[in-house]
Amino acid sequence: MALQKKSFSLSGHRTSVALEAEFWTVLDREAATAKQSLAGLVADIDKTRGTRPLASALRLAALAAAAHRH
């Protein structure tokens, strides 16, 4: 699985995150369901991740969203 890198502006700083395409697909779907941009969803996750790395927090959010749909 190749990683796809996406860049975001979080708390006034640019950051890039590399995730597998499957995780981005789930996160894109969740953002659309919530009627927000992917950047907005990532910012929301960033605010609540604590000390966990952003990539890990995004993967966990995607897994939780996928599990919730089933």
Task: Encode 38-52 in three state secondary structure.
Answer: HHHHHHHHHHHCCCC
Over the stretch 50-67, which tens digit does the pLDDT of each residue have? 999 999 999 999 999 989
32 pLDDT tier (thresholds 50, 70, 90) = very high
Question: Hey, what are 56's tokens?
Answer: 């890990």
| Domain ranges across the chain | 3-69
**In this prediction, what percent of the chain has a pLDDT beyond 90?**
89
User: What would the DSSP string read from start to end of the chain?
Assistant: --EEEEEEEETTEEEEEEEEHHHHHHHHHHHHHTTS-HHHHHHHHHHH-TTS-HHHHHHHHHHHHHHHH-
Mean predicted confidence (pLDDT) in 41-45:
97
Count of Cβ atoms closer than 10 Å to residue 62 Cβ: 22
Whether pTM exceeds 0.85? yes
Mean predicted confidence (pLDDT) in 13-40:
96
